[in-house]
Amino acid sequence: MHDLFIKNMKKASSVIKTEGIFVLKNLLIALILGVIGVVGVSLWLRSYTEHGIEVDVPNLVGLHINEAAVLADSVGCEILVIDSTYSKKVPLGTIVEQTPIAFSHAKHGRVIYVTVNAQSARAVPLPDLHDTSFRQAEATLHTVGLRVANYIYEPSEFKDIILDVRLDGQSIEPGQRVTEGAAVTLVIGKGKGTEKVIVPNLCGKNLIEARSLLLGSYLTLGSYQYDVPPTEETESLYVVYEQLPLAGSSILEGSLVNIRLTTDLEKAVNLNVITHEDEEEDFF
């Protein structure tokens, strides 16, 4: 019995020793694999992020966007446009700001954020300046980025009000888009003249044509009314079918001429003649 006990104890000790070696061996293998994994991931991350590799950020300000892209790529960076502006002081399409700033240090592959001057000048709608004072007109034009190049004084019913706005000698209407920074000419009323002029026939003319024709005769467009209220889509279709004073009348320079407009071509062809005082009063 004693011998059997000793034999079993030796056998158990041998099993325990064998199992211990197996566990220790597995732990050692796991440890080695873990170290290899950590070192591998570290090396991969180091390579992926290019840790420690820095470049000098080039100066892109003043370069055209296409030139800047080539220069940034040559040092291992790329550019991203995040904003645009418009200025006549620098060439169109050139970079005016960058982040990071020039000559600073950045990682290889860094994105450089840039602000670019617009590729083309913006167009702005002309404000409605008719019948406003020239001082107010100047201020309004300034707020939308337009300038006043010249003033022309012509006879009108009232002094110091805007009769017309012109660009390159041509009348421009409210809402018409004009290149930002453009210089316009303001036509300003100087009161009635002392000479008499003949009232032109406005029958069949649209509002823009009627105003231009009157200005050419040193007269001023007064009130204008529509026989049926227009919409934005139909307003350009209206033409004059009544006017006061009548075509052919002789009146002082700068006097007002009032008109009525319609889309009914039959009305426009058969221009109504206003002769009675009560009808004249109803016109206004």
Q: How confident is the model at residue 14 (pLDDT cuts 50, 70, 90)?
A: low
Identical fold, 123-191 and 196-284 = yes
User: What pLDDT digit, counting tens, does each position of 239-263 carry?
Assistant: 999 999 999 999 999 999 999 999 9
- Give the integer Cα–Cα distance in Å for 147 and 63: 28
Backbone angles phi, psi at 117, to 5 degrees: -70, 135
Q: What percent of the chain has pLDDT over 90?
A: 46
Residue 26: pLDDT band with limits 50, 70, 90? low
Task: Fold for 54-117, please state it.
Answer: Trypsin Inhibitor V; Chain A (3.30.10)
pLDDT given at position 196: 93
- Banded pLDDT at 269 (limits 50, 70, 90): confident
Residue 192 phi, psi dihedral angles, 5° rounding: -65, 145
**pLDDT number for residue 19:** 58
pLDDT at 11 over 60: no
Query: What does pTM read for this prediction?
Result: 0.55
Domain residue limits, the chain: 54-117, 123-191, 196-284
**CB-based contacts of 167: which residues, under 8 Å, 6+ apart?**
178, 182, 184, 185
pLDDT at 201 over 80: yes
pLDDT value of position 17: 55
For the cut 80, the answer to whether the pLDDT of residue 102 exceeds it is yes
pLDDT > 70 fraction of the chain, expressed in percent and rounded: 77
Cα torsion angle, 7, 9, 15, 20, sign: negative
Residues 6+ apart with CB under 8 A from 104: 56, 57
Position with higher pLDDT, 161 vs 27: 161
Q: Give the CATH number of domain 123-191; options: 3.30.10.20, 3.40.718.10, 3.40.50.300, 3.40.109.10.
A: 3.30.10.20
The domain defined by 196-284 folds into: Trypsin Inhibitor V; Chain A (3.30.10)
Q: How high is the pLDDT of residue 71?
A: 93
pLDDT single digits (tens) 113-172: 999 998 877 888 999 998 899 899 999 999 998 999 999 998 888 888 999 999 998 889
More confident residue, 205 or 18: 205
Any residues with CB less than 8 A from the CB of 283 and at least 6 apart, and which? 223, 225, 242, 244, 258, 260, 274
Confidence (pLDDT) at 3: 57
- The pLDDT score that the predictor gives to residue 20 is 58
Q: Tokens in use for 134?
A: 């020239």
Mean pLDDT lowest among 19-23, 206-210, 267-271: 19-23
Average per-residue pLDDT in the chain?
A: 82
**pLDDT tens string 41-75:** 555 555 555 555 788 899 999 999 999 999 999 99
- pLDDT exceeds cutoff 80 at 25: no
Q: Which of 199, 209, 277, 273 is nearest to 241 (CA)?
A: 273
- Between 185 and 34, where is the model more confident? 185
CB atoms within 10 A of CB 209: 13
Over 80: is that where the pLDDT of 36 sits?
no
